[in-house]
Structure 1
Amino acid sequence: MSRTTRPALAALAALSLGLTLSACASDDADAPSSAGTTPSKNVSIGIHSGWDEGIAVSHLFKVMLEDDGYTVTTETADPGIVYTGLAGGGYDLNFDMWLPITHADYLEKYGDDLEQLGVWYDDARLTIAVNEDAPITSLEELAGAADAFDNRLVGIEAGAGLTRITQDEAIPAYGLEDMEFVISSTPAMLAELKSRTSAGENVVVTLWRPHWAYDEFPVRDLEDPQGVMGEAEEIHTVGRKGFAAEQPEIAALIKAFELSDDQLTSLENIMFNEDEGKDPDASVRTWLEANPTFVDDLRTKAGLAS
């Protein structure tokens, strides 16, 4: 997943699509009604392209809402485009606003036209991880043990925020300049993580929480005593202005919604590893079969139990 802290597409593409989405929304005969009238049964969700946790949670809500009789549409785009669309009313919801750091610029720019609906995860963080039985526990030890990892730190995409922070912060802070920092792609990093752990070999990779790799592979994070990878962030659900008043039941579900690490990583593992991302809705239904009380428990917590 490309964790680009300051997405490059936000400037021009976001504005263009946002205006288009806003115009389309105003022409939609089934657009949400004003407060006090019958809520629309149509819901649109904007999803950050490549952000696995947002994709997983968006499709979890899509399936739950469709089971309640809603028609739900989803669209993936760069975060800048999604937030421009939300602010213009072209999307109803986004489940993946990282705060207080990653998406702070978007909150500052569009916050007056968005609603904060809830926090569903509070330990989102960038990490550098190793196999569970690696000989070190801290980033402070990595330079001295570089030979044990073939002198390679395996990263993801060049444009990712995680890559920038690793290059600009972690490598100089912990004296890792002599290690080869392999800038590749998320699939390539995961392929190496899989092959190395399967072979019982040491490996060190850039990673992030939440991610299904923690459910699938025997990995653990290296301690970061200097805090260069950043503090934990919260993942918020945001909506267009007026959404909660127009859709109070959905807003109540979102406010009550949260996932544990085990729940989220198991859902992501089914969706992106076992099912290879081919049918997210079917993956959600597989997960719900393994968590049969999840929906009823959520509705009870939201005060919506029948």
Structure 2
Amino acid sequence: MLLTLLNIVLPVFAVVAVGYIFGRRQHNPDMGFVNLANVAVFCPALVFSALISHPLSLSHSWPLILAGVLCILLPGLMLALFHFRGIERRTQVLAGMFRNTGNIGIPLMVLAYGEDQLGAIIILFVLSNLLHFSLGLFILSREAGRWQWLKNPIVWAAVAGILLADHQSLLPAFVYTSADLLGQMAVPLMLFALGVRLSVGEVGNLGLAFKLNLLYLLAGAGSLALVAWWLPLTADWLKLLALSVMLPPAVLNYLLCEQYRCQPDKMASIVLLGNVMSVAIIPVVVYLTLTYL
């Protein structure tokens, strides 16, 4: 399992390292245009493609869907009760709510629990993305107006994906293929941009980042306990939820903080340290879930 985990996590660090090296070799590298393109084009394409490929089924999976939503919202409510010096509450809450369910979560869950769980895994991924690009943007857009998030193309890409998922014949096939190609650029570009940000900013605040990541794990565990007690969840669903709340903060949190000028340097440190900590934490979580659930 450790080797499998390293094979998944190390490429993430490799792309970040390439961005870091590139940034160090440039004079004041400006990733503004690239980050804007990612938010305006590539991320919407990724969300649209995910929803088209894996439509949500409310009738059969409502307990998992409700549990997935609560495992995102409850940590946010818990974290809002705390305030640490030097970090805005919206930065602190965002990183604790939205985990790396995509480029780390999906392959990890498939490898740990089997491909027969892929449908449930995708449900958790889609839920996280929908909330990230609605509630997450709402949290961040304080200075630009609370409804500024409605102007974000990612939100409307999600709406289009939900509406067209069961009516794909309304658009020609090349539209979906093009969206899939564009979406494949989103995650690598996020990781590269994170590396560049670390090269020009302060890779500091590690003490604060460590405390916050520990708090995120505790909030996730507490939320999972409440959800497991309240909802009729199968053992397979509990395994997926347990791993999802223990995943590191999403790289996308950094990209959105960069766009909304919400302490991107601190978010970069939180995301990077969270991914480092996951190398030790995730194997333990997988072992416990496979042994006791």
| TM bin (shorter chain) | under 0.3
Answer with 1 or 2: which has the greater Rg. Answer: 1
Q: Which has the higher contact order (CA 8 A, sep 6+)?
A: 2
Q: What TM-score do the two structures reach when normalised by structure 1?
A: 0.26
The structure with the greater share of residues assigned to helix is: 2
Q: What TM-score do the two structures reach when normalised by structure 2?
A: 0.27
The structure with the greater share of residues assigned to strand is: 1
